[in-house]
Amino acid sequence: MPAAALLSVRDLRVVIDGLHILHGVDLDVAPTGVTALLGRNGAGKTTTVKAVMGLVPRTGSVRFAGTELVSLPTHLVVRQGIGYAPEDRGIFAGLTVAENLRLAERDRDAEPAYHLVHELFPELKQRAGQLAGTLSGGQQQMVAIGRTLLNRNRLIIADEPTKGLAPKIVAEVADVLARAAEAVPVLLVEQNLALVRRLAGTCAVLADGRTAHRGDTAELLADEDAARRLLGVGGRRPGPPAVTEEVNP
């Protein structure tokens, strides 16, 4: 029997300035590993994670570890143990790596969390005094993910962590996410299907603000008809794919 979902979203709806963005999203995030949130551009992926975090007005149900979040403001959602790495990474370029991490601290005793961050990403300890703006895209993503691990979070939400990055850096970010998922489950919003295939055991696909599919990631991407219909791409043979395979707009 599958383990109970850590995050369970039901009939999630968002209306902004009179526009209906989400029309009833259902989503389950597994208590371990990586769960992917997929869909074409404009399907509602980023709005979904912002709604989970309370960054946009929402209705429906968002249950995290048995606690209903939909009525809570963002700062109380965060205190439940959800770390959010936004699409733009939110790095302070003029501050050092250490200062970027320090800004994320909530717990009085953050030393054990720093031990975990440095164990997963030793480069962050080595580059503690370096300005974050001089890091590579992959290293900046380490900072973004590292910040989410500093407060004993029980879930990381990573929104399009490889967007705009070169293939070599995409591979670096994939390693970052794989290491993070060993410690904390991850909800990954991503267009790069090669990375999704490598990391995500389960997935949900959005279309026009609704959930169009939920299930096993490998099965979806192996089904050419379903992959083409839901994501605009054909399925590919099993095995390591090219890192540039992406969802079509």
N- to C-terminal Cα separation, the chain: 36
The correct CATH number of 7-231 out of 1.20.120.140, 3.40.50.300, 1.25.40.10, 3.40.50.1000 is 3.40.50.300
pLDDT of residue 242: 38
60-74: pLDDT as tens digits: 999 999 999 999 999
pLDDT of residue 44: 96
pLDDT of residue 170: 86
Query: Max alpha carbon distance in the chain (Å)?
Result: 52
User: What's the mean per-residue pLDDT of the chain?
Assistant: 88
Q: How many residues does the chain have?
A: 249
223-244: pLDDT as tens digits: 999 999 999 875 444 444 334 4
Q: Which DSSP category does 129 fall into?
A: T
pLDDT of residue 238: 44
pLDDT of residue 246: 58
What separation in angstroms does the CA of 122 have from each of 165, 169, 202?
22, 17, 29
**Mean per-residue pLDDT, 134-163:** 87
Neighbour-count burial of 238, counting CB atoms closer than 10 A to its CB (0-12 exposed, 13-18 middle, 19+ buried) = exposed
CA distance 27 to 29: 7
CA distance 119 to 36: 25
The residue extents of the domains of the chain are 7-231
The highest-confidence range among 45-54, 158-167, 176-185, by mean pLDDT, is 45-54
Neighbour-count burial of 239, counting CB atoms closer than 10 A to its CB (0-12 exposed, 13-18 middle, 19+ buried) = exposed
CB atoms closer than 10 angstroms to residue 171 = 16
For the chain, where are the alpha helices, taking DSSP H only?
Answer: 45-53, 74-79, 97-103, 111-120, 122-126, 137-148, 167-183, 193-199, 217-222, 224-231
Determine which of 44-58, 96-110, 223-237 has the lowest per-residue pLDDT on average: 223-237
CA distance 132 to 127: 9
Determine which of 77-81, 117-121, 182-186 has the lowest per-residue pLDDT on average: 117-121
pLDDT of residue 232: 83
133, 94 contact by CB (below 8 A): yes
CA distance 24 to 11: 4
Kindly tell me if the per-residue pLDDT of 189 is higher than 70.
yes
